[in-house]
Amino acid sequence: MRAVVISAIGGPETLKISDIAVPEPVEGQVRIRVAYCTLNPLDTHSRAGRVKWSVPPMPFVLGYEYSGRVEKVGAGVDASLIGKRVASAGNWGGCAEFAIAPAKTLVHIPDGIDWKLGTVYFTSTFTAWHMLHTMARMSKGDVVVVHSAAGAVGAMTTQVAKDAGGMVIGLVGSADKAAYAKSFGCDHVINEKDDADWPKKVKELSGGRGADIIIDGNAGASAPKNLLCLAPLGQVIYIGAMAGQAPDVNISSLIGGSAAVRGFVMYHAMPKTKGAEFKEIHEKLISGKWKFPLNPPVPLDQVAKAHDDFENRRTMGRTIFTVGGEI
């Protein structure tokens, strides 16, 4: 089968499509015939060696988030799963014609959600929902600042926050991205390239109050700026480090501002709600109240270009690769 295999840490140019054996499910697993695979940030982080947690030993097949039909089940798995439309996130192997995943981790794609949306909606939408509701315990009227507001998580966080009665200030890096972020409901958008003193602007836009919640997937050397515009009792939630690791946090400054700095992984939050959020999320996506920022599918052989575009901040929304297509 065709698959994108990562054998060593390197740049996007190292990604090639190889011909490897079709994998077999063992006890508790299923084999999925892949329909579409999306470019999850962890794909780029694992390839570049930016993260080590959740990364399997090399070589392994890239693709952290994908959709398809269950084609075969291993021992102990209900055979009625065969033929079901499912999404998988958190199990590598989606950049291939067939992938293996534990049956218990599968997300069933509901009627009303097509293959493409079914591939991508899970991680970004549930991350946004749980960051704001489960972790931040957002209240009506909260000021929410969203870094990379033109990205998939950014666009979904904007919509979830607006639906909860918040004011959203999006941070972006270009005029095109500003317009894109605005289309998903940001009340205000700040282009960091034009306004390096964006914390001052956040203060102005919030009437001097500052942000109650800041969502940051970039981190990097400029991460301390978040604390300059945080309201008392506010919190910064980090979900990634696309710009590199942030400097150490000054604990005294947290005490002085009654501020919190937190990290977030969706899978730690989900057990708290036991799936109660699924109904709301599905209804709002199916009805169109929340719109997922999904780009048209591209062939799998464009995976290297997609990684390069993502890492050089040329991507808006979520990239999706066609593998088996509408199966």
Compute the distance between CA of residue 291 and CA of residue 147 in angstroms, rounded to an integer: 19
Indicate if 82 and 205 belong to the same structural domain. Answer: no
- Measured distance CA(65)–CA(136) in Å, rounded: 25
Question: Does the residue 183 lie in any domain?
Answer: yes
Whether residue 53 is predicted with pLDDT greater than 80 in this model: the reply is: no
CATH number at residue 41: 3.90.180.10
Are 247 and 299 part of one and the same domain? Answer: no
Whether 104 and 163 share a structural domain: no
Return the structure tokens found at 130.
Answer: 């749980």
- Residue 252 maps to which CATH number? 3.40.50.720
Q: Where are any strands of DSSP class E within 195-310?
A: 211-216, 230-238, 260-263, 298-299
| Rounded CA separation 4/10 (Å) | 14
Q: How many separate domains does the chain show?
A: 2
Average pLDDT value for residue range 40-60: 89
- Nearest residue to 218 (alpha-carbon basis) of 154, 299, 306, 125: 154
Provide the whole-model pTM. Answer: 0.92
Residues 258 and 302 in one domain: no
Shared domain check, 265 and 133? yes
Query: What is the domain extent for residue 232?
Result: 124-270
Residue 118 lies in a domain: no
CA distance 219 to 235: 14
Q: What pLDDT sits at residue 240?
A: 86
Same domain, 142 and 73: no
Q: Which residues pair with 216 in a beta bridge?
A: 238
Measured CA to CA, the distance from residue 110 to residue 114 in angstroms comes to 9
The reply to whether 261 and 300 lie within a common domain is no
The verdict on residue 63 lying in a domain is yes
My answer on whether 26 and 50 are in the same domain is: yes
- Report pLDDT digits (tens) over 275-295: 999 999 999 999 999 999 999
Instruction: Tell me: cis bond preceding 57? Omega within 30 of 0 counts.
Output: no
68 found inside a domain: yes
Indicate whether 145 and 265 sit together in one domain: yes
Residues 167 and 53 in one domain: no
Asked which of 254, 270, 286 is the last residue of a domain, the reply is 270
> 283 lies in a domain?
no
Q: What tens digit of pLDDT does each residue of 212-252 get?
A: 999 999 999 999 999 999 999 999 999 988 888 899 999 99
14 part of a folded domain: yes
Quote the pLDDT of residue 243.
84
